Amino acid sequence: MHSNQRRSRTAIVLIVLVTVGLVAGWWWSRRGQDATPIAQWAAPAPAPIAGVDQPADLVGGDPAGDIVRARRPGAARRDLSTERSYDLPRGRALDVIAALQPRAEAGDNDAAFYLFLKIEGCRYQLYHSGDNNRAAPTSGDSVESQLIARTSPDCHGLTPEHYRNNLRWLEQAADSGLIMAQLSYAGNAEAVVGNSSQMLANPEKVIAYRRKAMGYLHRAAANGSVGALHSLGDAYHYGVLAPRDPARAYAYAYAESLALPQYGQFRLGNYAKQLDPSQLAAATQQGRRIYDACCK
């Protein structure tokens, strides 16, 4: 029994790792050539998780109602800044930190997100080389030399403390309502929770991450983010951030197709294959309600 539990937990962690780039991969594909490709490790079709205990607030409920409840009082239904892009700041990371950290600490949430992007680009270099993952630098006097050897000159001078504290900037930006920060949080579990060993050692942190990530996605959808609808559909299709639910996955994908008719038809067709006619009709109706709550 314990062996089965360990295998199940290992499978959960591996699936989380291969899916962290689903949102970030789309996002970084829109960046310029100077951007560090943080999410190149995205996998096209991770397997769903079976038998995973989920937080109660991720189970059940009405999807359209979840979006309505996530909307802040007085907030506009459609945030025209949802498609705003954020280019990776150029220059040395230490210079970027010197320029932006005082602004971020004073409450500039754009500055906080730019800080995260810059440091996250360096963190990715530390742990990923091409298609290969690398272990964390070992402790001792050689840490600084390892950091230098593993990263580009722009990243030299960053300390382990810079990397450890970087989540602070992402959460500040996401908590403020910055949609790209919310999508980035939900699409980058490794930056939030850590590598597979850290996830295995702290499953409670993984559960807290999933809960917070889903909350961010609902808030982003409440402000009209079509990208959030896409991510919510994937969450219920793959069963990583939330329990696997083919009907709910189709409903979010259908809402996305109403917002962007030119995209997602192939995906929508694949999702429909998992439903019988009555389920498909109910999910379609649910998708219309999601669209009305999000994006109409």
Position 68 scores a pLDDT of 86
Alpha helices in the chain (DSSP H): 2-19, 21-28, 63-70, 93-105, 109-127, 143-150, 160-164, 166-175, 179-186, 189-193, 196-201, 203-222, 226-238, 246-259, 265-272, 277-294
For residue range 249-280, list pLDDT tens digits in order: 999 999 999 998 887 788 898 999 999 999 99
Q: Tell me the torsion sign for CA atoms 84, 127, 53, 174.
A: negative
In total, the chain counts a number of residues equal to 296
Q: For the chain, which residues score pLDDT lower than 70?
A: 1-60, 72-84, 129-132, 134-142
Residue 51, both tokens: 């038998």
Amino acid making up residue 72? R
Taking the C-alpha atoms of residue 289 and residue 118, their distance in angstroms, rounded to an integer, is 38
Tell me the per-residue pLDDT of 32-49, one tens digit each, with 9 for 90 and over.
Answer: 333 332 222 223 333 333
Q: How far is the CA of 291 from the CAs of 11, 114, 285, in angstroms?
A: 33, 30, 10
pLDDT at 5: 46
DSSP 275: S
d(CA 229, CA 30): 18
Rounded Cα distance between 126 and 148, Å, is 9
pLDDT of residue 296: 80
The residues, ordered by sequence, that sit 6+ positions from 278 with a Cβ below 8 Å of its Cβ are none
Q: Show Cβ contacts of residue 252 under 8 Å, excluding neighbours closer than 6 positions.
A: 63, 229, 230, 232, 233, 236, 287, 290
pTM value is 0.75
What's the pLDDT score for residue 130?
Answer: 61
CA distances 69 to 63, 221, 231, 253, Å, are 10, 11, 18, 20
CA distance 185 to 216: 8
Q: What is the pLDDT of residue 140?
A: 61
